[in-house]
């Protein structure tokens, strides 16, 4: 076991990924339209980006729109598309000034051309930033991402660029949207639901999970710190065994 693994559980995770759930229920509980829940969800997202930067988190991935979310009513889908556009247009300058590097993971093909151009612009403009990496998972589904990577591998094999026998974990990882990001050590899901919902299935193979009953619009610094504290108490073994107690003091 490496010393890094023995130390794990002591420090904060470098990569935190969050399934931001409960906007609709938050609104419903208050007799408000679901859209108001999403609007307040965007406020929570902004707050969480600031907190992550403050807490020294290196990568924050936020599940903002899944490949399954297209099944929602057209008006809600349009609203969420508009919210991403609004967020990038309004916050990009501030994010960039805060040294945040913006990434969008997920399939871009189904996005409207103006939205696609906008997210590409956000990535280009912040590419040189060295602070928090903010990965927005939009039109993201882990199975879709893995299928796209598999298709690329098949094309590379057919073109003779890779020997099928040489396809390994690293070859697939290199073709994922997250190819240059570390795996998340902590996945948080809000709203009390305890599912992974097609989020980072490959990357979260060894992640710790924290499920909190807090609805996403209410997710604040205290809730974030509580999830990090739970993570620090976990013993991460990566399929190995617990580190044996340090016997050096017993040896006479
Ligand atoms: C889940 O709550 C939330 C979403 C599907 C959307 C997440 C969006 C935001 C946090 C706003 C910021 C958005 C962008 C695009 C930057 P839900 O609607 O499934 O809630 P429910 O389970 O209570 O109905």
What are the residue ranges in the chain where pLDDT is below 50? 1-9, 245-252
Q: What is the predicted pLDDT for the residue at 171? A: 98
Q: What is the predicted pLDDT for the residue at 9? A: 45
| Residues in Cβ contact with 40 at an 8 Å cutoff, skipping those fewer than 6 apart | 23, 26, 27, 217
> Does the residue 25 lie in any domain?
yes
pLDDT tens by residue, 29-78: 999 999 999 999 999 999 999 999 999 999 999 999 999 999 999 999 99
Total of domains in the chain: 1
Q: What is the predicted pLDDT for the residue at 94? A: 97
Q: What is the predicted pLDDT for the residue at 250? A: 40
- The CATH code of the domain that includes 45 is 3.40.1180.10
Compute the distance between CA of residue 252 and CA of residue 127 in angstroms, rounded to an integer: 56
- Give the residue from 24, 22, 19 showing the smallest Cα distance to 199: 19
Catalytic residue positions? 21, 69
DSSP 250: T
Closest CA to ligand 1's atom 16 = 84
Q: How far is the CA of 168 from the centre of ligand 1 (A)?
A: 35
Q: What is the predicted pLDDT for the residue at 7? A: 46
Q: What is the predicted pLDDT for the residue at 1? A: 34
> Does the residue 120 lie in any domain?
yes
Q: Which of 136, 189, 216, 217 to mutate to test the pocket of ligand 1 (most atoms within 8 A of CB)?
A: 216
Compute the distance between CA of residue 133 and CA of residue 58 in angstroms, rounded to an integer: 6
pTM, two decimals, is: 0.91
> Does the residue 32 lie in any domain?
yes
Closest CA to ligand 1's atom 1 = 21
For residue 16, the enclosing domain spans 12-232
Q: Which of 25, 41, 111 to mutate to test the pocket of ligand 1 (most atoms within 8 A of CB)?
A: 41
> Does the residue 52 lie in any domain?
yes
> Does the residue 249 lie in any domain?
no
CA 62-95-52 angle, 5° bins: 50
Q: What is the predicted pLDDT for the residue at 8? A: 46
> Does the residue 252 lie in any domain?
no
> Does the residue 238 lie in any domain?
no
| Residues in Cβ contact with 191 at an 8 Å cutoff, skipping those fewer than 6 apart | 21, 22, 25, 213, 214, 215, 216
Q: Is the CB of 23 under 6 A from ligand 1?
A: yes
Q: What is the predicted pLDDT for the residue at 248? A: 40
> Does the residue 104 lie in any domain?
yes
């Amino acid at each position: 076991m490496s010393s890094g693994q023995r130390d794990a559980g002591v420090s904060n995770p470098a990569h935190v990924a969050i399934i931001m759930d409960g906007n609709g229920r938050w609104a419903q509980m208050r007799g408000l339209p679901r859209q108001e829940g999403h609007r307040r969800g965007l406020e929570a997202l902004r707050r969480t980006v600031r907190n992550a930067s403050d807490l020294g988190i290196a990568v924050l991935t936020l599940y903002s729109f899944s490949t399954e979310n297209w099944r929602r009513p057209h008006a809600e889908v349009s609203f969420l598309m508009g919210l991403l556009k609004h967020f990038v247009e309004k916050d990009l300058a501030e994010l960039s000034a805060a040294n945040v590097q913006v990434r969008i993971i997920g399939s871009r093909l189904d996005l409207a051309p103006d939205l696609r151009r906008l997210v590409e612009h956000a990535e280009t403009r912040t590419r040189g930033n060295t602070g928090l990496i903010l990965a927005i998972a939009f039109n993201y589904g882990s199975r879709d991402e893995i299928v796209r990577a598999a298709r690329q591998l098949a094309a590379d094999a057919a073109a003779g660029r890779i020997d099928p026998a040489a396809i390994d974990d690293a070859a697939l990882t290199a073709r994922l949207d997250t190819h240059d990001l570390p795996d998340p050590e902590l996945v948080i899901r809000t709203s009390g639901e305890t599912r992974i919902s097609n989020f980072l299935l490959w990357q979260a193979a060894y992640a710790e999970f924290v499920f909190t009953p807090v609805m996403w619009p209410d997710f604040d610094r205290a809730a974030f710190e509580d999830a990090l504290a739970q993570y620090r108490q976990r013993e991460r073994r990566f399929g190995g065994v617990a580190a044996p107690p340090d016997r050096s003091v017993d040896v006479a």
